[in-house]
Amino acid sequence: TTQFIQTIPFRMSWQQYIDSSLLGTGLVSQAAIHGLDGNAWATSAGFQVTPAEAKAIVGGLTNPSGLQAGGIKLGGNKYMFLRTTDRSVYGRKGGDAGCVAVKTNQAIVIGTYAGGVQGGACVNVVEKLADYLISVGY
């Protein structure tokens, strides 16, 4: 007899992406994944990005004037707007902290860094997760 084995691809939960793929690197201080509608899918402990804050970032990708004028707000913290690309928003707070938010097809992946973590390292981790999510349809 012939036996068929079905393989089911393993997909992590949204919280596992936060805990393992972002925070687990040691290069992201706080993280969240929100739908493009602003609703939270997963977040790191104590990092409460509101739906309005997430929606402002999504809107800022096409029209950054609001972020340029008022900064990027995440979990009640304000970051100075640095720049935007067609899919990413970058911000800075003080001398050694900042944030990045990267849009995928259905979500935004948000990461912050502080305490000696290099901004470019955090950006690289967040953008790689966003690239992966895009590759699997999210």
In this prediction, residue 115 carries a pLDDT of 83
In this prediction, residue 10 carries a pLDDT of 46
In this prediction, residue 1 carries a pLDDT of 46
Amino acid at 78: K
Tokens of 53: 């804050």
Distance CA 116, CA 71 (A): 22
Question: What is the mean pLDDT for each group of 10 consecutive residues in the chain (138 residues)?
Answer: 44 85 94 96 96 96 94 95 95 93 97 90 96 94
How many of the other CB atoms lie within 10 Å of CB of 59? 14
In this prediction, residue 11 carries a pLDDT of 55
State the DSSP H helix or E strand holding residue 126, giving kind and residue range, or none if neither. Answer: helix 119-135
Tokens of 118: 């290099």
In this prediction, residue 45 carries a pLDDT of 94
Distance CA 24, CA 47 (A): 16
**Residues linked to residue 108 through DSSP beta bridges, in sequence order:** 34, 103
Whole-model pTM? 0.89
